[in-house]
Amino acid sequence: MNDFSKNIISVLRYTFTSVSTILIFLLLAFIFNFGLWSSLIISIALGSILFYMQNDNASIKSRSKLKKVSNEKESFYKANGLNKEEISFFRETMFIAKTQILTLEKNMHSLSKLSAIEKRNNTVHLAKALFKEITENPRRLNEVNKFLYVHLSSLVDLTNKYIEIDQHEVKNKATYDVLNESAATIDEMCHLIAVDYVAFKSEDFDDMSIEVELAKKAIERDYTDIEKIENQEL
């Protein structure tokens, strides 16, 4: 698959999973009566703009905060077949992922409802475990596109929105309905993080449906050194 096709798929994934673009589509289609096709086209166009703005901003931030790669780490990347451009892309991508995981950890522990969802799915631990797996296997970066560009970023976005709405001083039934729907979506997205982990480790697992549940509950047995990723070298 060429870069153009990958970009199109990434844009569509972002558009159909982003809370912002979904809300725009619903407003255009059902409030302003633009029609389904017109609303869809406008939403995809806006999704494209937001996707590239998000990626550009994240890339700029990552370059400004990333330390120069050490000789040891550079040798590791080269031994795995990465050239200079691929090393730079990998480090920026994983720095953004690290930032998102740390934000997710903070969000999930900020409210009792989100904390309960996190504990049920073991989401933060699984995300950190997968982060560690990717950094140790940089050539497999393309296998975790859904995790990096859809599930993780969407989960951060959803939890940000949930916290924002929960902090409203005045809440009515519609507010609580939105919170309940958002919590259910967050729960589903957390489940997908577990699916991402098991898919990446598929060679080690025979039955994915069973192993997803086991991964949620027992991943700590396999990883005792992944609680902190802040200082992990990229």
**Structure tokens that stand for 16 in this block:** 């159909």
Please report the pLDDT score of residue 222 as a whole number: 46
Q: What is the pLDDT of residues 24-59, one digit of tens each?
A: 777 777 777 777 887 778 877 777 776 666 655 554
Q: Which tops the pLDDT comparison, 232 or 191?
A: 191
Question: How would you classify residue 66: left for phi > 0, otherwise alpha for psi between -120 and 50, otherwise beta?
Answer: beta
Q: Judge contact between 191 and 212, C-beta under 8 A.
A: yes
Please report the pLDDT score of residue 124 as a whole number: 94
Q: Which amino acid is at 50?
A: L
Please report the pLDDT score of residue 219 as a whole number: 53
As a whole number, the mean pLDDT across the chain is 80
Share of the chain above pLDDT 90, in %: 42
Q: What is the pLDDT of residues 197-230, one digit of tens each?
A: 988 987 655 555 556 666 566 555 444 455 567 6
Would the pLDDT of 84 be above 60? yes
Q: Judge contact between 229 and 132, C-beta under 8 A.
A: yes
Please report the pLDDT score of residue 29 as a whole number: 74
Please report the pLDDT score of residue 14 as a whole number: 67
Cβ neighbors of 99 (< 8 A, separation 6 or more) are: 58, 61, 62
